[in-house]
Amino acid sequence: MRVLTLEWIEKAEGDYNTALRESRARKSPNYDAACFHCQQCAEKYLKALLQERCVSDFPEIELHRDALTVLDRYAVIFRYPGERAIKSDAQSALKMLREFRKFARNQLDLD
């Protein structure tokens, strides 16, 4: 596995852990941040996959297109005034991320 791929994975896992912490916080949870970090984790796993092979090598990625499209919105929508994430948004984002993360880690022979 390429060094840059491993760095993307490390960064992705940092975002994953941050999303988990924020979504589980009992005191002052930041669901906006949880959703944002779910999107960031998915994006970094996509970049890790692309470091190893081209997109056409992953036809199964189409199964995750809808979830990735939703997560993509979280890169911006909850980062600025006007929209606010609630607990169910964070839970939904984590569910979509977990499925994509499992796929990506499997493709990268990490699990």
**Using one digit for the tens of pLDDT, what is the confidence trace for 68-109?**
999 999 999 999 999 999 999 999 999 999 999 999 999 999
Cβ–Cβ < 8 Å for 39, 72: yes
Q: Structurally, how many domains does the chain consist of?
A: 1
pTM of this structure: 0.94
Predicted confidence band at 46 (pLDDT cuts at 50, 70, 90)? very high
The CATH number covering residue 89 comes to: 1.20.120.330
Supply the range of the domain harboring residue 38. Answer: 3-107
Give just the sign of the alpha carbon dihedral 10, 38, 78, 50. positive
